[in-house]
Amino acid sequence: MAFVQFPCSSLTLRTTSRSVFTAAPISASSKLSVQSSTNNKTTKSTNWVASFNSKSLSFLLSGALSLSLSLTGKRVGVSEAKVGVNKPELLPKEFTYVIDVAGFLSDGQERRLVQEIDNIEKDTGFKLRLLAQNYPDTPGLAIKDYWQVDDRTIVFVADPTFGNILNFNVGATVDLDIPRSFWSRLAGKYGNIFYWKEKGEDASIEAAVMAISNCLREPVGPNNCSEVK
């Protein structure tokens, strides 16, 4: 999976990352170096927001955010993965698609998201899993086994620690259907600090889940998920 290959074998991105744990980072071509400094800044910002690759989920859940190794078990660079967090005691006693250790969601919101995620899985076969955390308060690597993360899994980690609250680890199979650009645009629209500071973390999370739901239900093609709805 690829955490984009954007919070999977490492999610391998199509020419993208739905594999939460494998795609190469989005980077501008050296040929674009002649662009203006303004364009370069824009490109760098976009690339930062879209650091969905296999490193993302690891990073988010590692010493930097909360895990350390990608959920699929693929190691990331030593310089990128610090001491991993693994706190199974923070996992809910009963299985659930939504783990909110940060307390961003109300009980009603959590129930609605669980129902929507359940519908997504029934209708599309893809598994969306949501972890709302505020590093270092996170179950970390324990979510891998708890959710049985595989190539059809999208791990969505909502964590405002580094500014953009939306982080994704996308499985390789998911990556075959969803373009990488979708995840970067989704994070840019609903995850930026201005949005969640004004609307609230819960609003960012709910908007992201609905956008993912809409995307996964679109017919696969050259223009699928071209808009973040």
Site of tokens 């967090």: 85
Cα–Cα nearest to 59, from 14, 2, 101, 98: 2
Which domains, and CATH codes, for the chain? 41-217 (3.10.310.50)
Strands 153-158 and 166-170, sheet pairing? antiparallel
Between CA 83 and CA 64 the distance in angstroms is 8
Percent above pLDDT 70 for the chain: 63
DSSP 8-state code for residue 155: E
State residue 84's pLDDT score: 66
Q: Does the pLDDT at position 69 exceed 70?
A: no
User: Over 70: is that where the pLDDT of 149 sits?
Assistant: yes
Task: Report the alpha-carbon distance of residue 7 to residue 61 in Å, rounded.
Answer: 7
Instruction: Specify the DSSP element, H or E, that contains 128.
Output: strand 127-132
Residue with the two structure tokens 């939460």: 20
Confidence (pTM): 0.71
